[in-house]
């Protein structure tokens, strides 16, 4: 339970400080023009990572804390996401109480503690109020259409961070349900020909999540594998809501790409293939350099090291690397990768290539951090990673 005098909403400066210190940590950076916030969460949930996700754009910075694949805290520099504003919107604080509390806030202090002192918030209710604030920040963050993200892999969070009992999957479903931007939905869902199916064990997990009527309806339409187009055509919901709900169920891993899907896929245009090859070569240059640095340190043990790197990859990514010898200086065979992608029927080759390379880079980073954390070798490899992400 939180105490009024000690725990409260983390001040907005915490998010800004995290960005300034993050350059010294092991992190991945990118643009939200390439992905969506829900899909970032999906990657971390699927691999049970512990990380700090910083999102910057629209004049604000949001910081989401993920512990072993579960969202446990969030802070924001957005003044409308402050504790007082969140409680005012939810009706837990009336306008008179809000204004009076703001009048008393003449020196920097914790707003939640002040609300307790004024009798507007009971000490036992402070924890739930902070949960509500963190949830509001996460829901709002999923609407980012542009901006930058940084994922810092870590084993611990700052002492100020309180672990909250948030429902990660429910937050994601509710957040996607609030998204009204078709550009985000199509970016997350992909092509209409994408073949989906219910994931193993999804019935029990869906029951535990207490799916609403719309979510249950869309989920039931996939008792047998079906394309996105088939589902939205059969649903009594609007095409927009059906597609959005599909994306939500896919993001929380209740749905998955159907195995053995025979989706008609046209090979990418020649110029696009050149672009993908260039992307692979850029990452391969980094993989080779990381391989060489680690080899200098541990010699032939590098082969066991590479095996551990691959263990960090998700089950969905591993088939794309089938037929490759990853001990070949850590390089990815582009021709084999492209053939694997085409054989899988994946609907967007460029995005899949980017995702595979990105996740493989994650694997190298995590294993380097595990084996050489705090050493000069780690710092050298961080510099390489930052270059490949620019």
Tell me: the pLDDT tens digits for 347-372?
Answer: 677 778 877 887 888 788 888 888 88
Give 198's pLDDT tier (boundaries 50, 70, 90).
Answer: very high
What integer pLDDT is reported at residue 109 of this predicted model? 55
Task: Name the token pair of 342.
Answer: 């085409």
Q: Report the alpha-carbon distance of residue 228 to residue 221 in Å, rounded.
A: 10
Task: Name the token pair of 329.
Answer: 């200086």
CB 147 within 8 A of CB 40: no
Mean pLDDT, range 17-26, rounded to an integer: 42
More confident residue, 170 or 14: 170
**DSSP 3-state assignment of 330?**
coil
Mean pLDDT, range 364-386, rounded to an integer: 79
Pick the closest to residue 187 from 258, 111, 244, 135 (CA basis): 244
Starting from the edge strand earliest in sequence, which strands make up the sheet with 226-227, in order? 226-227, 195-198, 255-257
pLDDT above 80 for 279 = yes
Which residues, including other chains, have CB under 8 Å from residue 301's CB and lie 6 or more apart? none
pTM of the model: 0.61
Starting from the edge strand earliest in sequence, which strands make up the sheet with 60-67, in order? 27-31, 148-153, 51-57, 60-67, 70-76
Task: Name the token pair of 299.
Answer: 């010699």
What is the per-residue pLDDT across 36-82, written as a single tens digit (0 to 9) for each? 999 999 888 888 889 999 999 888 999 999 999 999 999 999 988 88
> What is the enclosing helix (H) or strand (E) of 239?
helix 239-251
What integer pLDDT is reported at residue 24 of this predicted model? 45
pLDDT above 50 for 188 = yes
State phi, psi for 312 to the nearest 5 degrees: -80, -10
Give 13's pLDDT tier (boundaries 50, 70, 90).
Answer: very low
What integer pLDDT is reported at residue 270 of this predicted model? 41
pLDDT above 50 for 375 = yes
What is the per-residue pLDDT across 303-352, written as a single tens digit (0 to 9) for each? 888 888 888 888 778 888 888 877 677 888 888 888 888 888 776 777 78
What integer pLDDT is reported at residue 166 of this predicted model? 93
CB 64 within 8 A of CB 164: no
What is the per-residue pLDDT across 131-158, written as a single tens digit (0 to 9) for each? 999 999 999 999 998 999 999 988 889 8
% residues pLDDT > 90 (the chain): 30
Give 106's pLDDT tier (boundaries 50, 70, 90).
Answer: low
pLDDT above 80 for 107 = no
pLDDT above 80 for 253 = yes
What integer pLDDT is reported at residue 262 of this predicted model? 38
What integer pLDDT is reported at residue 386 of this predicted model? 64
């Amino acid at each position: 339970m939180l105490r009024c005098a000690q725990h409260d909403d983390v001040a907005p400066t915490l998010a800004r400080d995290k960005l300034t210190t993050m350059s010294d940590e092991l992190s991945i950076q990118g643009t939200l023009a390439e992905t969506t916030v829900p899909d970032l969460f999906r990657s971390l949930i699927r691999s049970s990572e512990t990380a700090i996700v910083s999102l910057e754009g629209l004049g604000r910075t949001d910081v989401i804390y993920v512990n072993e694949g579960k969202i446990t805290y969030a802070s924001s520099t957005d003044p409308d996401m402050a504790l007082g504003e969140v409680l005012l919107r939810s009706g837990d604080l009336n306008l008179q109480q809000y204004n009076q509390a703001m009048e008393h806030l003449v020196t920097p202090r914790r707003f939640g503690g002040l609300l307790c002192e004024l009798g507007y918030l009971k000490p036992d209710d402070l924890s739930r109020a902070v949960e509500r604030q963190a949830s509001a920040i996460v829901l709002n963050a999923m609407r980012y259409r542009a901006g930058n993200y940084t994922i810092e892999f870590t084993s611990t969070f700052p002492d100020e961070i309180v672990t909250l009992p948030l429902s990660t999957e429910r937050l994601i479903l509710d957040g996607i349900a609030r998204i009204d931007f078709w550009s985000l939905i199509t970016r997350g869902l992909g092509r209409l020909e994408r073949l989906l199916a219910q994931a193993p064990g999804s019935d029990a997990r869906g029951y535990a999540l207490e799916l609403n009527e719309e979510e249950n309806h869309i989920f039931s339409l996939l008792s047998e594998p079906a394309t996105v187009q088939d589902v939205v055509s059969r649903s009594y919901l609007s095409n927009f809501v059906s597609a959005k709900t599909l994306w939500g169920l896919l993001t929380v891993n209740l749905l998955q790409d159907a195995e053995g899907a025979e989706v008609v896929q046209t090979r990418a245009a020649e110029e696009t293939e050149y672009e993908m090859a260039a992307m692979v070569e850029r990452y391969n240059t980094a993989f080779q350099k990381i391989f060489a640095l680690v080899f200098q340190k541990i010699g032939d043990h590098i082969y066991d090291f590479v095996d551990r790197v691959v263990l960090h990859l998700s089950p969905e990514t591993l088939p794309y690397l089938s037929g490759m010898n990853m001990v070949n200086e850590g390089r990815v065979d582009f021709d084999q990768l492209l053939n694997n992608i085409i054989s899988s029927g994946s609907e967007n080759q460029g995005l899949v290539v980017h995702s595979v390379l990105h996740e493989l880079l994650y694997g190298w980073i995590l294993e380097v951090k595990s084996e050489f954390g705090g050493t000069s070798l780690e710092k050298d490899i961080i510099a390489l990673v930052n270059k490949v992400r620019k």
